[in-house]
Amino acid sequence: MWAARLLGAFGRQAGERDFARELESHLQLHIDDAIRSGVPAGEARRRAVLALGGIEQTMERWRDQRRVPLVEPLIQDLRYGVRTLRKHAGFTAVATLTLAIGVGANAAIFSIVDAILLQPLPYPEAERLVLLWGHRANAPRSQVSSTDIADVRQSARSFVDVATFSDWTPIVSGASEPERINGIQVGDGFFTVMGVAPLLGRTFTSEEQIEGNDRVIVLGHALWQRKFGADPAIVGKRIKMSGVEHQVVGVMPPDLGSLPLTLLNAPGEFYRPVAEAYDSRERASRHLRALARLKPGVSLPAAQREIDVLSFRLAQQFRLTNAGYRMQLVSLQEDTVGTVRPTLLLLMGAVIAVLLIACVNLVNLLLARSAARQNEIALRAAIGASGGRLVRQLLTEHLLLAGAGGLVGLGMASLMLHALNALAATALPQFATRPAALDGLVLAFTAVLTVLATLVFGTVPALNARRTALAAGIQTAGNRVSAAGPLARSLVVSEVALAVVLLFSAGLLVRSFDRLQSVAPGFTAEHRLVMNVWLPSATYREPQRNLSFYRELVERVEVLPGVTRAGLVSTLPFRSFDQRSIELAGRPARPEHVPTLDTYIVSPGYLPTMGIALAEGRAFNRFDTKESAPVVLINRTAARALFPGESPVGKRLRFYDGRPDSQERWREIVGVVADVRHYSLDRPATLQLYAPQAQLPSTSMVLVVQTSGPPRALSATVRQQIREIDPELAAFQIATMDEVIGDSLATRRLALALVGGFASLALLLGAVGIYGVISHWVARRTREMAIRVALGARPAQVQRLVMRLGLRLTATGALIGAGISLAFSQVLAPHLFEVRAADPVTLGSAVLVLGASAVLATYLPARKATRADPVTSLRAE
């Protein structure tokens, strides 16, 4: 019948011809009859046509009828479907939401995981890129020197090329307002390593890596468009960077994205040469990073072996600088993704659990609905609705449901993807500009799965009833696939178990985060405003000029209303770092075990401004100048490590450059200060060293201002002070110290929010699932309950009966869930801080929370059971 209608569309012409033939046959039969009654032939035809009502009119009416039906039943089905869904709004809402969660969350998570884990880096053949890290026993992932890398470049056969790189953030003045722009200094061979040819102009030559010839830059594509309006004649133009004129020699295509944020402080928008000569005396000057491209066919382990041989040779040749030091290769992909992967896997696990729970609920819901409708469907079948029609109606209704769920799911997926892109962008800057899109394949796959599930579990059980009902008369109980039967009950148990696992995981993360947040960083973060105030080396050549600028700045800032005090530091905790090797007086330096300390060059006001306490000796004062004896402070951890059991005050140290005739000055330790957590809250304090700014001038200092009120309120006034001293300067990376620490927790916080969200969802779904099953169980047993009450059972007893079932289901589920949680607790361990993975308190709380919800979910139907009037229930049968 449907086929006929479909064919009707195709065989329109044939159909019309056929009908014309039929009309002609009709007329002929009429004419025959008329002639037989004696009407003359011509008149007979006229009368026949008249009786018909006109041939053309009949054809037209016939055509009308043909056009309608294709659409009409479909519209009818749709209307009927919508009406049914609206009538049971509760069911519709819950089912839609459940579907949405399944489809949406799934699609979002898998899209981002696919984008990050499978295609994380925007460079050609990125899987062949490797990083070279310096490695010592006490400093596993450290920076390298240009001299070492130059040797690698010369000797190693495993690489297409090797290049160094580092941050550079000059003030760029040009066509528009001066601003600080983040760039990357790159060594010789960088663009060969990256494998991208310039869009305009050229890249750097080897000669341009020599100081003096290095006033050249290559622009990144985004910067070229943003600040220079995609000027096609940009090559050859000059741009002032930090007061020095640089010439643009090339522009890169959009293919070359910035290096990931795990390697740089901020995404780099342009390039300039590193310009460090090969100087064997600077072998220990390790402030760069290095990137290399493996030759085709060369594996990472093979390259590592070659590097090890080279490292060994260098250690022998240059014992002072390289003993105990080697270089470690790490694939760029692994280095970048490795930080984010554990969190992503955790999220994937959580979302799969939620998906399973959602599916269980959906199936139970559909089973319940089908069971309820069996009577209705049986009745309709009995009075003559065709099987095809019924199926079509049910399918339409469920397709509507699936469609609604899918749409809502799509919305959910978009929202979730937005949050996940933010998470990804914390490590991979390309996610900020090119966020991951919803993977169409995943979406389609999930959608198809859930639609099929909806259709199968929605229509099949309902239609089953049609057959049995026709045979045995309309039944009132004893449905084949029941919503309270063993299938439904075991499904509920499984979803309870999953909910417990999720709650437990979320609980662990919450406790972990809480512990982390309450870690004392070693300095006071509240009411501290920070900003980078870097001086262009071109205009601030003499150290005295730097010092006087910074001194004047601090003086001016300290008298501002709302400011308590101010200080300067070269490396702000949580933002950047500066590791330097030292040697101690009286102890000959063993090159294999050169201590490395986080070094801070500070103004006298810094330590009080940050609230870092003095433990021993004295702090810096204004008498520590260039002319006076060089002094330093070290922190407690360094004191304990370097001078166990004795006071370090009075001892001397100096910076270690690996030269036997070192010109480095000895510096006296005049005091010990409290520890500071520098890298992250969960990493214990490192060995730390403070030196006075007057004795080690620097042009890149961070200003820290202690305010009495909200720190940001003073941002404008402080920046004003900077401009008043030198209008060419601009501060950047302005924030409060609270924010800086908060940023370091951003990833964890986001992951926690997501997992917490999933856990709450799981709890809600689990409770709904329990409620559903118990309700149906009660409904099925109304008769039995009624009889019990009629025979004298008290309502409380009936209630207890129901509660027992509910609690039995919950307990089973909780037990299984607890078992799974403990078995897989180690999976969570990398995410936790000072919280044991198999923490019994958290597990207990999770079970308790679930238990409470389950009790409530069971109690409500139990109460309804007691209220059932035995008389009406018995009569209803």
Partner 1 sequence: MTKSDVLQGTLAFMVLKRLDSLGPLHGYGLARRIEQISGHQLAVNYGTLYPALLKLEQQGYVTSAWGVSDNNRSAKFYRLTRAGRARVQAAAHEWDQAAAILQKFLRLGEDPA
Contact 133, 287 (CB under 8 A): no
Give the strand pairing for 289-294 and 159-168.
antiparallel
Backbone angles phi, psi at 172, to 5 degrees: -105, 120
Contact 160, 193 (CB under 8 A): yes
Quote the least distance from Cβ 5 to partner 1, whole Å. 6
Residues contacting 224, CB < 8 A, separation 6+: 230, 231, 234, 251
Quote the least distance from Cβ 373 to partner 1, whole Å. 20
- HEC sequence for 765-817: HHHHHHHHHHHHHHHHCHHHHHHHHHCCCCHHHHHHHHHHHHHHHHHHHHHHH
Quote the least distance from Cβ 16 to partner 1, whole Å. 12
- Give the number of C-alpha atoms closer than 13 A to the C-alpha of residue 11, restricted to the C-beta side: 11
41 versus 713: smaller Cβ distance to partner 1: 41
63 versus 788: smaller Cβ distance to partner 1: 63
384 versus 588: smaller Cβ distance to partner 1: 384
Candidates 11, 20, 22, 155; binder of partner 1 (CB under 8 A) is 22
Q: Which of residues 30-49 bind partner 1 (CB under 8 A)?
A: 30, 32
4 versus 559: smaller Cβ distance to partner 1: 4
Maximal CA-CA distance, the chain: 143
Quote the least distance from Cβ 10 to partner 1, whole Å. 15
1 versus 233: smaller Cβ distance to partner 1: 1
Q: Which of residues 367-386 bind partner 1 (CB under 8 A)?
A: 383-384, 386
863 binds partner 1 (CB under 8 A): no
Give the strand pairing for 596-602 and 688-692.
parallel
Candidates 25, 720, 826, 872; binder of partner 1 (CB under 8 A) is 25
Quote the least distance from Cβ 80 to partner 1, whole Å. 16
Quote the least distance from Cβ 810 to partner 1, whole Å. 49
60 versus 646: smaller Cβ distance to partner 1: 60
Quote the least distance from Cβ 44 to partner 1, whole Å. 13
Contact 273, 214 (CB under 8 A): yes
Nearest partner of 420 among 750, 762, 830, 828, judged by Cα: 750
Distance (Å, whole) CA 288 – CA 546: 24
Contact 853, 766 (CB under 8 A): yes
Quote the least distance from Cβ 847 to partner 1, whole Å. 57
Distance (Å, whole) CA 165 – CA 218: 14
Strands (E), 94-153: 129-136, 139-142
18 versus 245: smaller Cβ distance to partner 1: 18
Distance (Å, whole) CA 782 – CA 311: 82
Backbone angles phi, psi at 199, to 5 degrees: -80, -45
19 binds partner 1 (CB under 8 A): yes
Q: 272-304: buried (b, 16+ CB within 10 Å) or exposed (e) per residue?
A: bbbbbeeeeebbbbbebbbbbbbeeebebeebb
Quote the least distance from Cβ 81 to partner 1, whole Å. 19
Contact 653, 667 (CB under 8 A): yes
Contact 582, 656 (CB under 8 A): yes
Quote the least distance from Cβ 422 to partner 1, whole Å. 55
119 binds partner 1 (CB under 8 A): no
Quote the least distance from Cβ 406 to partner 1, whole Å. 31
Burial class (CB in 10 A: 0-12, 13-18, 19+), 718: buried
44 versus 602: smaller Cβ distance to partner 1: 44
Quote the least distance from Cβ 382 to partner 1, whole Å. 9
Contact range with partner 1 by CB under 8 A, out of 24-32, 676-684, 700-708, 853-861 = 24-32
Burial class (CB in 10 A: 0-12, 13-18, 19+), 195: middle
- Give the number of C-alpha atoms closer than 13 A to the C-alpha of residue 832, restricted to the C-beta side: 19
Candidates 3, 4, 118, 137; binder of partner 1 (CB under 8 A) is 4
297 versus 384: smaller Cβ distance to partner 1: 384
61 versus 590: smaller Cβ distance to partner 1: 61
Quote the least distance from Cβ 388 to partner 1, whole Å. 8
Which of helix, strand or coil describes residue 464? helix
Quote the least distance from Cβ 494 to partner 1, whole Å. 43
Quote the least distance from Cβ 33 to partner 1, whole Å. 8
Quote the least distance from Cβ 455 to partner 1, whole Å. 23
Site string for partner 1, 190-229 (x = CB under 8 A): ----------------------------------------
Contact range with partner 1 by CB under 8 A, out of 27-35, 242-250, 535-543, 666-674 = 27-35
659 binds partner 1 (CB under 8 A): no
72 versus 646: smaller Cβ distance to partner 1: 72
Contact range with partner 1 by CB under 8 A, out of 29-37, 230-238, 297-305, 865-873 = 29-37
Q: How many residues does the chain have?
A: 877
Quote the least distance from Cβ 50 to partner 1, whole Å. 9
5 binds partner 1 (CB under 8 A): yes
Reported for 664-668, long-range contacts at CB under 8 A and 24+ positions apart, including other chains, are 665/630, 666/585, 666/630, 667/630, 667/631, 667/632, 667/691, 667/695, 668/629, 668/630, 668/631, 668/632
- HEC sequence for 315-367: HHHCHHHHCCCEEEEEEHHHHHHHHHHHHHHHHHHHHHHHHHHHHHHHHHHHH
Site string for partner 1, 49-78 (x = CB under 8 A): --xxxx--xx--xx-xxx--x---------
Secondary structure element (H or E) that encloses residue 565, with its range: strand 563-569
64 versus 877: smaller Cβ distance to partner 1: 64
Site string for partner 1, 288-327 (x = CB under 8 A): ----------------------------------------
Query: What are the distances in angstroms from CA 555 to CA 116, 504, 534, 560, 829?
Result: 48, 54, 17, 9, 49
641, two tokens: 């490590």
21 versus 238: smaller Cβ distance to partner 1: 21
31 versus 303: smaller Cβ distance to partner 1: 31
Nearest partner of 465 among 372, 546, 393, judged by Cα: 372
Candidates 29, 538, 829, 856; binder of partner 1 (CB under 8 A) is 29
66 versus 565: smaller Cβ distance to partner 1: 66
Distance (Å, whole) CA 673 – CA 636: 6
Give the strand pairing for 688-692 and 270-273.
unpaired
58 versus 576: smaller Cβ distance to partner 1: 58
57 versus 206: smaller Cβ distance to partner 1: 57
Binding site residues, partner 1, CB under 8 A: 1, 4-5, 18-19, 22-23, 25-26, 28-30, 32, 51-54, 57-58, 61-62, 64-66, 69, 383-384, 386, 388
